[in-house]
A = this chain, B = another copy of it.
Amino acid sequence: VAPPIDPARRPAPYGTEPLALREPLPLDDLPTPALVLDLAPFESNVASMAAHLDRHGVRARPHTKTHKCPEIGRRQMAAGAVGLCCAKVSEAEVMAGARLDTLLVTSPVATADKAARVAALAPTCRELLIVVDSERGARLLSDAAAALGVVVGVLIDLDPGTHRTGVTLGAPAVDFSRLVRSLPGLRLEGLQAYAGHLQHVHGFGERQGRARETWERVLETRHAVDADGAATRILTGGGTGTFDIDPGVEGLTDVQVGSYLFMDVEYRAIGGPGDAPFEPFETALFVLLTAISQPVPQRITVDGGFKAFATDSVRPELLDLTGVKYHWGGDEHGILELQEPSRPIALGDKLRVRVPHCDPTVNLHDGFWVLSNGVVSEWWPIAARGRGE
């Protein structure tokens, strides 16, 4: 009989540090499906986002929900990030355990158990912030903090129109900021306005117009909250889709970028300034697959399906090859429709495939095989994979 455990506090299964392979492997020798991080474009993406934000005097607060990997968070901090965002409390616990301890939890909690976990985590961090958006959540958090004799820094989560979480802009936000300031276990540090619904608006002009209009309404609310005595220090929001729109916003302190690290089919499709495609960042993530079967001449079956790629949006896309269309082939397979393949594909061939949506795809895998100069020498554990609590 195994010793009793607390599965809610299970350890990161492969640790939080990069692991060296016993010997470097050529890319095509990886066992597939393999999630591959292409190091040179990845490092370029990290550096170019940092330089871009630096030019505008805004900091990054990159989202660990995209990568779930302490090594990547460490590199983002080294490139100048003000801290890291975590989607959930359990994700923050993993990051804090890897000594990444300037964290913002971007989803509210509404139960005593989660509030207690936040309060317990706070003193182990240099700075732990969490958003609040309901009286219930705020009171539970204050009570949990008071019970431990700590004060938890909070941001009010504003609803900029996504209608997913957050307090309604205007008077409701001002009223809520008064409540938050009245609670002894909380310290109001600022506001979060994450416009998730704008990140994938197609067409730069449309996206820019809607983002600016949204930010204007957010700023009116910030002014009202501050005029009421809150003196908010932080205004955080934005993402990869609006990375070149948000930095001009008055008083914005940091942007919650994530997908710029990797890029994916979804983001490439949103369009950049003018008629240009959205390609400010390079594709640095792919899944390597193997052609394993050819049941009929017009098709080749590969060894990755619903368990290798997130399926919430578009289809995977072949890299280095045109005239071939990926179709879902169930949990374990993809089916390549051979329209006019730009080169022949034979059984056993390895194929690089761009992921449809990077965040939930990364969450399917246990680690990144890190590709550099054609060989893989390291495996970076996706330590917070599956931490949805």
Determine the chain B residues whose CB is within 8 A of the CB of A366 once the complex forms: 7, 10, 13, 386
Interface contact A347-B136, CB-CB below 8 Å: yes
**B359→A331 contact, CB < 8 A:** yes
A385 to chain B, nearest CB (A): 8
Let me know if A7 and B303 touch, CB within 8 A: no
**A335 contacts chain B at the CB level, 8 A cutoff:** yes
| Docked complex Cα distance between A30 and B295 (Å) | 46
**A6 in complex: contacting residue of B22, B157, B306, CB < 8 Å:** B22
- Cβ contact within 8 Å between A369 and B7: yes
Expressed in whole angstroms, the Cα–Cα distance for A33 and B332 within the complex equals 24
Counting contact residues on chain A (CB < 8 A from B), the size range is: 35 or more
The verdict on A110 contacting B291 (CB below 8 Å), with A10-B366, A196-B330, A347-B136 known, is yes
Copies of the protein in its oligomer: 2
Residues in chain B near residue A196, CB distance under 8 A: 330
A293 and B389 contact, CB distance less than 8 A: no
Q: Which of B3, B348, B388 contacts A304 (CB 8 A)?
A: B388
- Given the complex, which residues of B lie within 8 Å of A364, measured CB to CB? 363-364, 386
Whether B4 and A31, one on each chain, are in contact in the complex, defined by CB atoms closer than 8 angstroms, is: no
> Does chain B have a CB within 8 A of A296?
yes
| CB-contacts of A284-328 with B (<8 A) | 290-296, 299, 301, 303-304, 306-308, 310-312, 328
- The chain A residues found within 8 Å of chain B, CB to CB, are 1-8, 10, 13-15, 17-22, 29-34, 65, 87-88, 90, 107-111, 113-114, 133-134, 136-137, 157, 159, 162-168, 196, 290-296, 299, 301, 303-304, 306-308, 310-312, 328-333, 335, 347-348, 357, 359-360, 363-367, 369, 379, 385-386, 388-389
